[in-house]
């Protein structure tokens, strides 16, 4: 796996904890209880609870002022704020030339997609041509590229909750082939009633959330590097997943795990890592909820911050949900 | 890549040295500013990448032979969208390029959750594997598949079910699960005996070309020796409605790329995959080589191309440069050629600016004129058409042209043509501004 050696030189995050990676770290360290609301649904009320933890309103300094962002979906706003923070964190006041962008998601622009499809069902002749382009999976990546003037390689990857590991692998390929000098790897997701409801079909205790985590990666730099990777461990069933997860356990000083507080889901992962001891352990999903395509990105942001702050190694457990499991160690 | 402790000084890494060399070799163009983005450049040490298998499913037919026969006959594949796919009441356009799927395709996914696109992908996969002498995907290092809509029809059913009644519904969990393209591909991979990373690229209409391109770069970087790459998309109501709302679909249902009075595109569906192998591990006969790939992002607008086609100029320049070729060496271009007023004029101008004096000698056609725009599948299907042209020594036609647009300075292929094709190039441009160019070279039989 050639993402080993990649340096994470800057990070940024938007989450239910706030519009910065610092707020995310503080919330996770202090185990802050974040507010939960019941997700509203158009039409009739649903007869079961559908809790969500949404991102709070953006502070003025985090609002992106660019013509492309006049009517973009929330996912683009979250990703833009996270990317700008990651660039600044890496010491770039302006975006560097030869910047690649890899955007990872599972659901994408679900709000506009649902809205547009409802318009189609209501009256196809009046479906809005302004909304449709925003439903396309790579619209957010295109907006970020326009914002940053990144006119080279820009790609959107759809995948499992840990697909950011595939994106990091691709970033390493790009860097080693000379496609770019630096690469922003961002995982983002937005909440809507459809995806929040879908999550409750997996387990009624799931809480959907949203946000974005961005990593500015380069071949060299002062940021922590990816030192070890376990995976991909492909699985085709939940049973296989459980059998493979023990291979994820990598020693480190701190662990950022994938626990969401639902015992049935956490059991295999808990058993896998139980043989190892850690100075500290964080479970961001217990605090935030399930952000799907953004979840592993937020874990990696936290791991980078902890590694930098504590000057130690941090393991990240990303067992995934429907294709492959990963873990990695930053240091 | 090496870890920090082992790494040489930043300006002495292999990567840094290579970039310096690349910068010194990139020519400055008079038609566009020097590219800010550099890609692999001609280098005798570059890995030779062979295509050892390819599969194609398009509205013109299932498989290489059926598609070749359709091109030979200058056949078009447009017909009314059947109600069992979706209703087109209220839309301006009523037709599309539709794949006639066999009644029963063995699929690992339960019929009600197997998206049409996945079925097409499976058929293309089986053809590609058979062509490279394989019955399974064993030995493949990575799978990269492009799609712009994934299993959209399942998402539509999920939505319609959810809005019809706020209660909980049986099958919604499976619909949500199988709506995800990586899940569909994972089940196909399991059936074909393969375990490994699955990367789903979604760069709109450039997805398939990008998937093949990233496969090439994975091999060149040493990350993989053998990659299965391609793209697919099936027709879906939401997407059809989207293009209809943008007034991008030809009201007549007949796309006329590069015609002076063209009025829009027709949608289609299909899938294509290629097996790419590093030359030193190649296990089957090579059908052709992929010699160049470049991608760039057009920042002009979310859905409209830069009128001068600057991003396309960059990708064509870089891909030919990487192949060690000049524009004059390219015999045939399978253009993006959608048939929309904006796209075709921008692409025609880009080709003229890139090729200069060689423009009039380069044969160009748009196969979207025969099968429609396959969106996430287009780049992969059109790459396989280039491969077929290299193997068969022919050029497919741009159909339905009545009066050639004055922007066209190249040799527009208007009927099927037997011709020498040594090097072929294909362009793919997508929503969001993703541009991709692939260059392929013939291998002698």
CB-CB neighbors (< 8 A) of A308 in chain B: none
DSSP assignment of A111-137: HHHHHHHHHHHH-GGG--TTTHHHHST
Burial classification of residue B308, based on how many CB atoms lie within 10 Å of its CB (0-12 exposed, 13-18 middle, 19 or more buried): middle
**Cα dihedral B351→B356→B361→B363 (10° resolution):** -10
Give A3's contacts in chain B (Cβ within 8 Å).
Answer: 1
Closest CA of chain B from A31, distance in Å: 31
Active-site residues of B: which are they?
205, 336, 373
Over residues B283-296, the mean pLDDT reads: 96
Percent of chain B with pLDDT over 70: 89
Q: From the list B7, B180, B203, which residue is nearest A156 (CB)?
A: B203
Among chain B residues, the shortest Cα distance to A293 is held by B180
Q: Do A176 and B1 touch (CB under 8 A)?
A: yes
A125 contacts on B by Cβ (under 8 Å)? 90-91
CA distance B154 to chain A (A): 13
CB contact under 8 A, A232 and B159: no
Contact B13 A220 (CB under 8 A): yes
**pLDDT tens-place string over residues B231-252:** 999 999 999 999 999 999 999 9
Confidence of residue B111 (pLDDT cuts 50, 70, 90): confident
Q: What is the pLDDT of residue B62?
A: 98
- A157 vs B contacts (CB less than 8 Å): 199-202
Q: What is the largest CA-CA distance in chain B?
A: 66
pLDDT of residue B45: 57
Nearest to B190 among A45, A163, A236 (CB): A236
Q: Are A11 and A89 in contact (CB under 8 A)?
A: yes
To the nearest whole Å, the CA of B46 is away from the closest chain A CA by 10
Q: Per-residue pLDDT for B32 more than 50?
A: no
Residue B210 CB partners (closer than 8 Å, separation 6+): A155, B146, B201, B203, B295, B379, B428, B434, B436
| Residue B8 pLDDT greater than 80, yes or no | no
pLDDT at B43: 52
* Mean pLDDT in residue range A42-55: 93
Number of Cβ within a 10 Å radius of residue A122:
11
- Sign of the four-CA dihedral B390, B394, B398, B404: positive
Window from A27-31, B40-44, B52-56, B361-365 with minimum mean pLDDT: B40-44
Judge whether residue B40 has pLDDT over 60: no
Domains belonging to chain A, first-starting first, are 7-218 (3.40.47.10), 226-330 (3.40.47.10)
Please say if the pLDDT value at position A1 is more than 90.
no
User: Which residues in chain B are closer than 8 Å to A322, comparing Cβ atoms?
Assistant: 177, 180, 182-183, 186
Interchain CB distance below 8 Å, A120 and B7: no
Coil, strand, or helix at residue B174? Answer: helix
* Cβ–Cβ below 8 Å for A116 and B238: yes
CA A244 to chain CA mean position, Å:
23
Contacts of B181 in chain A (CB under 8 A): 158
CA separation, residue A156 to residues A17, A185, B328 (Å): 26, 10, 33
8 Å CB contact of B3 and A149 = no
Q: Has residue B326 got a pLDDT over 90?
A: yes
pLDDT of residue A280: 97
Whether residue B197 and residue A97 make contact (CB cut-off 8 A), yes or no, is no
| pLDDT of the residue at B197 | 86
Nearest to B238 among A117, A134, A149 (CB): A117
Question: For chains A and B, what is the number of CB pairs under 8 angstroms?
Answer: 246
Q: Containing H/E element for A60?
A: none
Report the SS3 class of residue B424: strand
| CA–CA distance, A125 with B127 (Å, rounded to integer) | 40
Q: Kindly state the tokens that stand for A210.
A: 């949203």
Residues forming beta bridges with residue B49, ordered by sequence position: B278, B290
Cβ pair A194:B159 closer than 8 A: yes
- The pLDDT assigned to A98 comes to 96
* Residue B31 sits at the chain A interface (C-beta within 8 Å): no
Identify the closest residue of chain B to A219 by CA–CA distance: B1
- CATH among 3.40.47.10, 1.10.357.10, 3.40.50.1860, 3.40.50.360 for B49-442: 3.40.47.10
Alpha-helical segments (H) within chain A: 21-30, 74-89, 110-122, 132-135, 139-148, 164-177, 193-202, 238-244, 263-273, 284-288, 295-310
What is the C-alpha to C-alpha distance for residues A302 and A283, in angstroms, rounded to an integer? 10
- Residue B11: pLDDT over 80: no
Chain B CB contacts of A217 below 8 Å: none
Q: How far is B195 from chain A (nearest CA, A)?
A: 6
Q: Is some CB atom of chain A closer than 8 A to the CB atom of B431?
A: yes
Does the structure's ipTM exceed the value 0.85?
yes
B12–chain A Cβ distance below 8 A for any pair = no
B window 128-167, beta carbon within 8 A of A? 147-148, 150, 155-156, 158-160, 162-163, 165-167
Which pTM value belongs to this model?
A: 0.94
pLDDT-derived band at B18 (thresholds 50, 70, 90) equals: very low
Specify the pLDDT at position B445: 61
Contact A299, A273 (CB under 8 A): no
Q: Which residue of B has its CA nearest to A115?
A: B159
Looking at CA atoms only, how far is residue A32 from chain B in angstroms? 31
d(CA B290, CA B297): 21
Interface contact flag, A139 B37, Cβ < 8 Å: no
How many Å lie between the alpha carbon of B266 and the closest alpha carbon of chain A?
17
**What Rg do the C-alpha atoms of chain B give, in angstroms?**
21
* pLDDT band (50, 70, 90) for residue A2: confident
- Which stretch of DSSP H or E encloses residue B440? strand B434-442
Contacts of A151 in chain B (CB under 8 A): 36-37, 296-299, 311
| pLDDT exceeds cutoff 80 at B36 | no
Query: How far off is chain B from A242, nearest CA to CA, in Å?
Result: 16
- What per-residue confidence (pLDDT) applies to B371? 98
Average pLDDT along chain B: 90
Q: Tell me: pLDDT of A106 over 50.
A: yes
Percent share of chain A, pLDDT over 90: 96
> For residue A327, what are its two tokens?
């873990």
Chain B CB contacts of A234 below 8 Å: 186, 189, 195-198
Q: Please, are residues A302 and A256 in contact by the beta-carbon 8 Å criterion? A: yes
Task: Note whether A322 contacts B197, CB cutoff 8 Å.
Answer: no
Substitution target from B180, B293, B379 for chain A, most A beta carbons within 10 A: B180
Q: Shortest Cα distance from A70 to chain B (angstroms)? A: 13
- Which residue of B lies nearest to A176 if distances are taken between CA atoms? B15
Sign of CA dihedral A48, A293, B294, B282: negative
Residues of A in contact with B199 (CB under 8 A): 157, 159, 163, 166, 170
- Asked whether the beta carbons of B303 and B247 are under 8 A apart, the reply is no
- Choosing among B92, B220, B242, B243, which should be mutated to test the A contact, i.e. which has the most A CBs within 10 A? B242
Chain A hits for B91, CB-CB cut-off 8 Å, are: 124-125
Of B195, B199, B242, the CB nearest to A116: B242
The nearest alpha carbon in chain B to A161 belongs to B182
């Amino acid at each position: 796996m050639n993402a080993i050696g990649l340096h994470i030189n800057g990070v940024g995050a938007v989450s239910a904890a706030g519009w910065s990676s610092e707020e995310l770290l503080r919330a996770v360290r202090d185990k802050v209880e974040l507010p939960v609301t019941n997700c509203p649904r158009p039409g009739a009320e649903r007869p079961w609870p559908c809790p969500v933890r949404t991102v709070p309103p953006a502070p003025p300094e985090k609002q992106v002022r660019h013509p492309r962002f006049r009517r973009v979906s929330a996912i683009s706003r979250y990703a833009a704020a996270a990317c700008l923070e990651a660039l600044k964190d890496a010491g770039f006041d302006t975006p560097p030339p030869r910047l690649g962008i890899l955007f990872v998601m599972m659901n994408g622009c679900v709000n506009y997609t649902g809205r547009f499809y409802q318009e189609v069902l209501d009256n196809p002749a009046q479906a809005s041509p302004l909304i449709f382009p925003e439903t396309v999976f790579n619209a957010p990546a295109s907006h970020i590229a326009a914002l940053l003037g990144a006119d080279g390689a820009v790609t959107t990857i759809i995948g499992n909750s840990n697909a950011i590991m595939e994106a990091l692998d691709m970033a390493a390929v790009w860097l080693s082939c000379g496609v770019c000098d630096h690469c922003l790897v961002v995982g983002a997701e937005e909440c809507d009633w459809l995806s929040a409801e879908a999550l409750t079909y997996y387990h009624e205790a799931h809480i959907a959330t949203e946000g974005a985590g961005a990593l500015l990666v380069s071949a060299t730099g002062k940021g922590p590097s990816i030192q070890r990777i376990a995976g991909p461990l492909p699985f085709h069933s939940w049973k296989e997943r459980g059998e493979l997860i023990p291979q994820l356990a990598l020693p480190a000083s701190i662990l950022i795990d994938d626990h969401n507080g639902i015992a049935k889901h956490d059991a295999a992962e808990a058993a896998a890592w139980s043989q190892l001891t850690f100075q500290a352990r964080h479970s961001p999903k217990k605090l935030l909820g399930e952000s799907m395509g953004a979840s592993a990105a937020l874990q990696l942001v936290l791991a980078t911050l902890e590694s930098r702050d504590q000057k130690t190694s941090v393991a990240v457990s990303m067992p995934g949900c429907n294709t492959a499991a990963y873990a990695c160690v930053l240091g | 890549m090496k870890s920090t402790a082992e790494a040489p000084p930043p300006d002495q890494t292999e990567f840094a040295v290579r970039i310096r060399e690349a910068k010194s070799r990139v020519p400055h163009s008079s038609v566009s500013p020097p590219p800010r983005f550099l890609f692999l450049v001609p280098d005798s040490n570059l890995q030779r990448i062979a295509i050892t298998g390819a599969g194609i499913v398009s509205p013109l037919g299932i498989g290489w032979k059926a598609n070749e026969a359709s091109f030979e006959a200058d056949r078009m594949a447009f017909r009314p969208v059947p109600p069992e796919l979706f209703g087109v009441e209220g839309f301006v356009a009523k037709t599309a390029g539709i794949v006639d799927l066999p009644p029963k395709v063995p699929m690992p996914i339960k019929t009600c959750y197997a998206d049409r696109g996945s079925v097409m992908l499976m058929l293309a996969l089986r053809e590609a594997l058979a062509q490279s002498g394989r019955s399974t995907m064993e030995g493949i290092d990575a799978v990269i598949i492009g799609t712009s809509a994934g299993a959209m029809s399942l998402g539509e059913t999920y939505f319609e079910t959810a809005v019809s009644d706020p209660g909980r519904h049986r099958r919604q969990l499976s619909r949500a699960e199988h709506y995800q393209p990586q899940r569909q591909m994972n089940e196909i991979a399991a059936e074909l005996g393969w375990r490994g990373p699955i990367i789903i690229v979604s760069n709109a209409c450039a997805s398939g070309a990008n998937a093949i391109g990233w496969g090439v770069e994975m091999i060149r970087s040493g990350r993989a020796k053998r990659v299965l790459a391609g793209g697919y998309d099936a027709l879906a109501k939401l997407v059809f409605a989207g293009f209809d709302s943008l007034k991008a679909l030809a009201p007549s249902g007949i796309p006329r790329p590069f015609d002076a009075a063209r009025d829009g595109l027709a949608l289609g569906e299909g899938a294509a995959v290629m097996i790419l192998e590093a030359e030193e591990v190649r296990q089957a006969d090579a059908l052709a080589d992929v010699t160049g790939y470049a991608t760039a992002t057009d920042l002009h607008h979310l859905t409209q191309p830069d009128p001068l086609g600057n991003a396309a100029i960059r990708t064509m320049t870089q891909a030919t440069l990487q192949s060690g070729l000049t524009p004059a060496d390219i015999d045939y271009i399978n253009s993006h050629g959608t048939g929309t007023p904006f796209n075709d004029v921008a692409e025609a101008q880009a080709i003229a600016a890139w090729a200069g004096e060689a423009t009039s000698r380069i044969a160009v056609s748009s196969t979207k004129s025969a099968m429609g725009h396959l969106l996430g599948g287009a780049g992969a299907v059109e790459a396989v058409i280039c491969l077929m042209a290299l193997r068969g020594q022919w050029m497919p036609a741009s159909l339905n042209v009545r009066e050639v647009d004055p922007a066209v300075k190249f040799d527009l292929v208007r009927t099927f043509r037997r011709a020498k094709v040594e090097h072929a190039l294909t362009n793919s441009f997508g929503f969001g501004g993703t541009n991709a160019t692939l260059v392929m070279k013939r291998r002698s039989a």
